[in-house]
Structure 1
Amino acid sequence: MTETVAVGAQGATSGPGRRPPRPPLPMLVQGFMFAGFRRRTLRRLRDRYGPVYALNLPVFGSTVVMSDPELVRAVFTADAEDLVNIRPSLSRLFGPGSVFALDGRAHRERRKLLGPPFHGRSIKNYEQVIEEETVRESAGWVDGTELRTLEPMNRITLNVILRTVFGADGAELDELRRIIPPWVTLGSRVATLPEPPFPTSRFSPWGRLAEFRQTFDRVVDALIDKAQADPELDERTDILALLLRSRYDDGSTMSRRDVADELLTLLGAGHETTASSLSWAFERLRRHPAVLAELVAEVDAGGRDFRQATILELQRARTVIDFAGRHVAATHFDLGEWRIPHGSSIIVSIADLHENADIFPNPERFDPHRFVDSKPPTFAWVPFGGGTRRCIGAAFANTEMDVVLRTVLQRFHLETDTAPDEKVHSRGVAYVPGDGGRVVLHRRKV
């Protein structure tokens, strides 16, 4: 018989398979704190209860939050049948045909289909597009005037993903440029909120999202029709063409609806997070002149190693997506000394993991040198999540940040000063600089 002894927080016991400690707060209070003040809340709970504790959340139900690297390893290497995607997932926004909606064999097969556009050779082909869009956007920057970089970075990354997905410009892409940014902003805000169990009006957030989706489907239908009628479809390298040509092992193709859901996933999830990271890059460089000087010298010499280390440190120090989640589909899941019952959620607190002083000494310091000649630890540095659900576009995002930073530093001098750090601001899912990543740029003489 297992002995259980309370340890001062609801649900906490000692002995084999015990439950993690749980703060004695009502569900609605916990949900409000998680949705509105998540990073601050999780940090305080970590300091009080340690790297593993439980919450009861309106959206995710009984939830275990953790930031222990060894337990992260256990979650990310678990059998995909035991731990599936968190529920509800972002498929609420992207649709039932999105990779976010799939589990098990269906998920593995879809990732296999989506893989080719994000392989090294394909990504290399996109570098020119990234540079062109950066040059085009930066042509309008006013010399010597403070610039909020967040929105320009959003325009660059949106245009890049539109061109790489669809391969060409046109009226349809202009319409997508119009609808995608407000859709992403609204979707990010409601992603961690419970969906009403009753019909809502067209003026509600959910009604507006539905209208955006109707417009998106109409535009994408037209683009698919054009692509399928293109006699050179087999030679095209854009992602839409690759998806339309792709085949499952049994020879079947993706349905038109699934293609649309995956395209929306790529457009929605594939630009805002990268833009947010880039805006944080400029916010950090403004306050770290030594790092900036080393980056500029490297750019002028044609190198990239220190820039890569800076990108790694940026993603650690200014984590844009602060948690990755799983749902326990097995009868239970043993997480170290803890037993997590069927139907529970497990959340990896990425921001807390990245602040672990045992792994990253002086974690509050922005120090790219910690990653020079040193790869980040696999289960302690996880800005793209991990395991079978690691972001499929991670290499694409890295290349995009690399090329944008290189191109801007080649063409502009960035002023540095001792301005206070910009506060971390939540846009719902992504965390961005509170003042938009303000910098003052001057064109370099070439």
Structure 2
Amino acid sequence: MTSTIVRAGLSGEHWYLADPDAMSGIIVGNSTARPLSDVPTAAARPLTALTPRSLRESLRLVLRQGDTLFHDAAQTSLLRYRVIGAAGRTVVLSDPGHIKSIMTVDPAIAPSATRTSPLRPIIGSQSVLTSIGERHKRQRAMLMPHFHGRAAASYREAIERATSRAIDGWPVGEVIELADLGQQITLDVIMTAIFGIGDDRASTPAEADLRFQVVRLLRRSTWPVATAAQLVNARNPEPVGFTRWALKPVDAAMYRVITERRKSLGGNDILSVLLDARDSSGAALSDDEIRDELMTLVLAGHETTSNTVAWTFERLTRHREQYLRVREQVRADGGADVVESLINESMRSRPVVPIVARELLAPWDFGGQRIDAGTVALVSILLLHHRDEIYSRPFAFDSERFLQTRPSPTTLMPFGGGNRRCLGSALAMAELRTVVTEILRRVDLETHERPGERPRHRNVTMIPNDGGKVRAVAKV
């Protein structure tokens, strides 16, 4: 069956409302790809001068990113744009072979395009998310032990407590936004990991204020003016205008927490690790460096997970038979396998981070097409997850899609890839397994056939426009 989705950008149809049996129409080209030089071009980084098309293309990508990419990917296998800001010349990749070539190459040739990220004015230039090269390697090595393996498992009790509190307070019969409920849970967990807050230590007034200010910042980031602010900040490494105003109270709270903790050193939480850390010369990290790291961990450490919870049930409650089948399996034997498949399908169909970026410091060959050094390559995880040759019925939500199939890291990339793969992925999956399982086990949700919620782009994330609205009809 052919699909109107091929004409999404022209006809006004939206990709997220596509018929479940539709094909994406993404063109399959030559998957070979390689750098044409292994020597980074030092002069490749200057910004590209704006052209008359830049504003129009920038607005299309900001306001209708998904529709634009699906429409254009049905016309050509390699998408090229000129956009406002540091990105300048840009290509969009969705072919697994093209993506692998830039994810597995020496990062010196294709580093993360952090200087072009809309998050940079918000989280700063000195965090693990925005640094590159040796600095990034050191930061990642310092933080990784607190998010993987035994450390992630140690947060299990905190996840279970936070989930139980949120479900206990869930009002029956009222429509709620699951993104908000998920935020309550995941923010509590990340505050435990970063600041050591738990049953044996209540948050200080400064920490409580920081939590409040983070929630308020995220709410303000959904205001229409925030979209305009993203474009205004595109060429500024430091926040200006609305973004600077919105960050002020968060920064004030963050610095109060850092000052407070410097007076009482000691502990096993992440902030203690940052306060004890020393650079290669033996100097301690500055307050500004710690602020950038904390801002990254607090924001990235909970927002993506809470919105994945929201998307999971936004999708599942629109498919009654699937919902009942998964719910009954969970209540019968825990349903570990069906929950894992459900989460993977949610992240496939609605990846919360739909794009990651690399900067090509050498010329590249993508399927016979040469791309000049100095181009920013955007990996469209959204398009990758909807390619017809990889996923049958890509627009259909199938909670059992991954039940008998192990996801491949080259075709399912909700946490990015390469040396920039999300360092909190293990903690995020531990949270998702617990939260999704407990909601299915303890809450009966209303199912319906209303159209899917519109994806809204907030900085680098894709969130449900209405927060993933659901109604509990009973609790067990």
1:25 is displaced (CA, Å) by 6.9
Alpha-carbon shift at residue 298 of structure 1 (Å): 3.3
How far the C-alpha of 1:351 sits from its partner, in A, is 0.7
The two structures, once aligned, show a CA RMSD in angstroms of: 2.7
Residue range with higher mean Cα deviation, 110-119 or 300-309: 300-309
Please report the TM-score for the alignment, with normalisation by the length of structure 1: 0.86
Partners of 2:75 and 2:410 lie apart in 1 by 23
Instruction: Verify: 1:55 aligned to 2:96, yes or no.
Output: no
User: Structure 1: any 5+ residue segments left out of the alignment?
Assistant: 1-15, 19-23
Shift of 1:167: 1.1
Please report how far the alpha carbon of residue 252 of structure 1 lies from its aligned counterpart in structure 2 after TM superposition. 6.2
Letter in 1 for 2:408: P
Unaligned stretches of 5+ residues in structure 2: 1-33, 37-50, 198-202
Pairing 1:216–2:244 present = no
User: Does the aligned pair in 2 maintain the 1:157–1:275 contact within 8 Å?
Assistant: yes
Q: Which amino acid aligns with 2:66?
A: R
Distance 2:148 2:236 in 1: 43
- In structure 2, C-alpha distance between the alignment counterparts of 1:213 and 1:148, rounded to whole Å: 24
Instruction: Give the letter aligned to residue 321 of structure 1.
Output: V
Task: Give 1:83 deviation, angstroms.
Answer: 0.8
Deviates more, 1:312-321 or 1:299-308: 299-308
Where in structure 2 are the equivalents of 1:227-238 lying within 5 Å?
227-228=264-265, 230=266, 233=267, 236=268, 238=269
Once the two structures are superposed, the pairs formed by residues 35-434 of structure 1 within 5 Å of their partners are 35-50=62-77, 52-59=78-85, 60-86=87-113, 87-89=115-117, 90-168=119-197, 169-186=203-220, 189=226, 192-195=230-233, 204-228=241-265, 230=266, 233=267, 236=268, 238-246=269-277, 254-300=285-331, 301-330=333-362, 332-434=363-465
User: 1:67-98 CA distances to partner (integer Å, 9 max, x unpaired)?
Assistant: 11110111111210001121323332211221
Q: Output the CA distance in 2 between the equivalents of 1:380 and 1:267.
A: 28
By how many angstroms is 1:357 displaced? 1.2
CA distance in 1, matches of 2:334, 2:378: 41
State the shift of 1:293 in Å. Answer: 2.7
Deviation at 1:62, TM superposition (A): 0.3
Instruction: Quote the Cα distance in structure 2 between the aligned partners of 1:335 and 1:82.
Output: 15
1:339: Cα distance to partner?
A: 2.3
Letter in 2 for 1:98: S
CA distance in 2, matches of 1:369, 1:322: 22
Q: 1:253: how far off?
A: 5.2
8 Å Cα contact 2:255-2:287 kept in structure 1: no
State the percentage of identical aligned residues: 31
| Distance (whole Å) between structure 1 residues aligned to residue 463 and residue 238 of structure 2 | 30
> What is the alpha-carbon distance in structure 2 between the residues aligned to residue 70 and residue 316 of structure 1?
18
SS of equivalent residue, structure 2 residue 80? strand
CA contact (8 A) 1:161 1:270 kept: yes
Contact 1:276 1:430 in 2 (8 A): no
Deviations 1:27-62 (A, max 9, x none): 111111111111111111111223x12100002100
- Give, in whole Å, the separation in 1 of the partners of 2:280 and 2:148: 19
Deviations 1:154-197 (A, max 9, x none): 22222221122111222122101221123235568458524277
Count of residue pairs the alignment pairs up: 416
- Residues 414 and 439 in structure 1, CA contact (< 8 A), matched pair in contact too: yes
Matches of 1:104 and 1:387, distance apart in 2:
13
1:247 positional shift: 5.9
